Structure 1
């Protein structure tokens, strides 16, 4: 069994002040394969102190010095991509193809995208041409507590750590204790890249202990959290007494609006189902509510049921386009409970259902599931299931589709399928979501990621992600060159 029980603090791998062994479980067979140690508030204190000491010098480094660091990180990460994919696949169950091409690749893409942002970002500039002695200066906010989830580990770690370093901040990272091995490998990469002592620190632990200690610590200037809305609320409350900046990327219940004028209904529905099932449904922006215009609803239900029935479930260690297990027993139990809730509430089960897929008697594997005739007041239409479960809802027209789409406490993503360009523009503007994707379009590198309402605040990625880690200072009477 692999032992990774130390924390990275002040440039060194150090033992926790109090050992609290914690097993890392392989979700494919439910057995422990590694052991970490959970930290404590005292370990957080050490890490914050190191980050505070390092901030004074690192905040004054030049853009080029920070670019050099990020470029070294990028090269080492690229060399260790296969190791990263294997770590992610083992810890959270992503099949190797997905772990390599999407999970690990996302980390590389974000590192390189932030390098481009940093190369072009203007940290100092006049307010405007007629007020050139009023200077605007963007400065690092300070020491940042970064709390990341298990479902897209490197996507979220790089979306936080890299822009923080690019801004000149120092950080304390708490990755998910359920899937910590990829973050420990990332710490190895930063150590090899020569990150200065105290600039990057990692403390493993759970939310109630380490997460809470970071959120309320007076030496932390900003907390960036990705996870459930419930946990995000707890982070915000803990941070309130010290009035620190809080950036939240939380849950979603994203609608996928399918209109009758879509050029290829089968293609649009298949795309939506597969997106819902991707990563075993464990994505906050998954299109889990499919709102279909009534005139094509029955056809859409038949297509969706067929796609889900054909979706393959398999071991994460194998290559392929199958889906793997859920991450943990807790997630497995939650998804099973919500599938049963859909049945109990009267939704029509057209694919999948409770229990493991045929051929699996262990591991957190679930059946790709589609419910039809769902109403938006049902539990499966309201709660974020975080599993491969699709709720299909018939709608009469565009207005009803928009009304139901917006009838949710979340507002992360939305998807629209239509052949009418004007409708695409009109509907996208009325949807209360931070991101809208039309007709299967992908999101460009550097596009802001984040949502409305209880899906969080702040934006990750691109210049927006860098700006989240910067303070804005206005200096009046700035000396101008004659």
Structure 2
């Protein structure tokens, strides 16, 4: 795979700047690839290509767009080994997690969109009118580094199926897996200009996309601060915006008569520790009943031993490195902050030197107060805050006392858990061991974003309504 080109208007082409961004393996700190440092010239070429391709693509019957996406999915599946390998190298995600969550789950997501596309309500009859949903137009997709395939699939597949054309700017830290997607679109026979790939830095490519007059919508996933910046620029020309942003998600464990909390602890740990905590929906605040504190802390300590840290190439390892030196430093500062604020380390602590990779062990703070920095800020690392509550009302108060509202979980008797879930201010709430549903809408309350991804609701984000008043003579 040649990573030193951009994919614009159906052609692999050199970047206008002649400059490159190096890609580092966070497990070894070795530079192993580079991609073009795209700029406003590249964005302009891509925007013009996408704009030119839009009328024919939007007019293509949905069945034909679905047929092309079926071909894409078949090629996408054939790339599995390459995608696993490149994701391990560019992100440091361990083999088992990479295979199941970073790669194979994206086939499930793509299949879900294909199957749901014919069910999207594109025409709705009303008393004196008919409402149609049409493509928004050219979509600028700006994606993060933590799920380099997943966050891309969440945007480009529904956008394309709904008749939009796309310009993708993947994260500068994990851009390489997107090259395989571009190759798959090319081999599947998608028309020129329908899908375009422009790599580069957010301050250059992201800003150019957000302000380009031929870009009709920006779909952004990343930090809340980044989303605010992108949103402001996009709204200067009144573009559609969809923002999937940060989280500081609570996981509430209700008292158990048998005092066995093995399953909910595993569910919490899988959320906050796998992918080294670099997940926007991670259960980073564990709320436990005060009377069960000692019991649960013992079980936390014991179960945490299962979450081994090491080379992501090792099939038995559960946590690899964090993604970059910047992440390593940021997470380390939060751990230090937690210690300074008076939280007690139950497990883990400050990491070793990053000289041989950006490894941070699972870290658990207890005796955390919800007004502490570590309980309010999105750390985006394998750091869990354990907070006690007095009763259910207190648990709800703590859960909602944060500026985010992306995800949450409640574990306990089903009726009580559901009742509590309705009171939590979050776009998604998991009850007990319920699995994720690709057909469900995904998105947050408060500072966690605007809009939804996933399922029919995620596809509707890439449409705009037109009402025809057609009952007159």
Question: Shorter-chain-normalised TM-score: which range?
Answer: over 0.9
Paired residue for 2:460?
467
Aligned 1:153-172 pairs, distance under 5 A: 153-172=148-167
Q: Does 1:198 find its partner at 2:193?
A: yes
Runs of 4+ in 1 over 6 A off after TM superposition: none
| Cα distance in 2 between the residues matched to 1:262 and 1:91 | 45
- Residue aligning to 1:287: 283
1:120 paired residue number: 119
Q: 2:293 aligns with which of 279, 290, 297?
A: 297
Aligned residue in 2 for 1:386? 380
1:228 aligns with 2:223: yes
Q: 2:312 aligns with which of 287, 312, 316?
A: 316
Name the structure 1 match of 2:95. Answer: 96
Correspondence for 1:39:
38
Please report the RMSD computed on the Cα atoms of aligned residues, expressed in angstroms: 1.5
Residues 3/121 of structure 1: CA separation in 2 closer, same or farther (3 Å cut): closer
- CA contact 1:281–1:388 (8 Å) conserved in 2: yes
Question: 2: CA distance between counterparts of 1:54 and 1:310?
Answer: 51
Cα distance between partner residues in 2 of 1:90 and 1:58: 35
Which stretch has the larger CA shift, 11-20 or 306-315? 306-315
SS class of match (1:270):
helix
How many pairs are equivalent?
Answer: 472
Give CA-to-partner distance per residue, 1:71-120, whole Å, 9 cap, x none.
00111111111211111111101111111111011221111001011132
Q: In 2 relative to 1, CA 91–478 (structure 1 residues): closer, same or farther, beyond 3 Å?
A: farther
Contact 1:229 1:455 in 2 (8 A): yes
Aligned counterpart, 1:446: 439
C-alpha contact 1:106 1:154 (8 A) present in aligned 2: no
Q: CA deviation at 1:271?
A: 2.5
Deviation of the 1:56 alpha carbon: 1.3
SS of the aligned residue for 1:54 comes to helix
Kindly report which structure 2 residues correspond to 1:19-38, keeping only aligned pairs within 5 A, or say none.
19-38=18-37
Cα distance in 1 for residues equivalent to 2:31 and 2:231: 33
The alignment partner of 1:386 has SS state of: coil
TM-superposed deviation, 1:474: 0.6
Q: CA deviation at 1:283?
A: 0.3
Structure 2: runs of 5 or more not aligned: none
Give secondary structure in 1 for the equivalent of 2:59: coil
Counterpart-to-counterpart distance in 2, 1:337 and 1:174: 29
> Pairwise mapping of residues 333-412 of structure 1 onto structure 2 (< 5 A)?
333-356=329-352, 362-412=356-406
**Any idea what the Cα deviations from partners look like across 1:236-280, whole Å, max 9, x if unmatched?**
111111111110111100000111137642322232123210111
CA displacement at 1:125 relative to structure 2:
3.0
1:3 is displaced (CA, Å) by 5.1
- Which segments of 5 or more consecutive residues in structure 1 lack a partner in the other structure? none
- The 3-state SS of whatever aligns with 2:149 is helix
CA distance in structure 2 between the partners assigned to 1:478 and 1:18 by the alignment: 55
Question: Aligned equivalents of 1:121 and 1:216: distance in 2?
Answer: 30
Offset at residue 123 of structure 1 (A):
1.8
**2:417/2:431 contact within 8 Å kept:** yes
What's 2:328 paired with? 332
Mapped contact 1:451–1:457 kept (Cα < 8 A): yes
Match of 1:23, SS? strand
Cα pair distance change 1:478/1:185, threshold 3 Å: farther
2:142 is equivalent to residue 143 of structure 1: no
Determine the C-alpha separation between the residues in 2 that align with 1:423 and 1:348. Answer: 30
Instruction: Answer yes or no: is the 8 Å Cα contact 1:95–1:315 preserved in 2.
Output: yes
CA distance in 2, matches of 1:120, 1:69: 18
* TM-score normalised according to structure 2 size: 0.97
What is the CA–CA distance in structure 2 between the aligned matches of 1:217 and 1:478, rounded to whole Å? 39
Residue equivalent to 2:67: 68
Against the structure 1 CA distance between its residues 262 and 455, is the aligned structure 2 distance closer, same or farther, given a 3 Å change threshold? Answer: farther
Give the distance between the partners of 2:464 and 2:187, measured in 1 at CA: 30
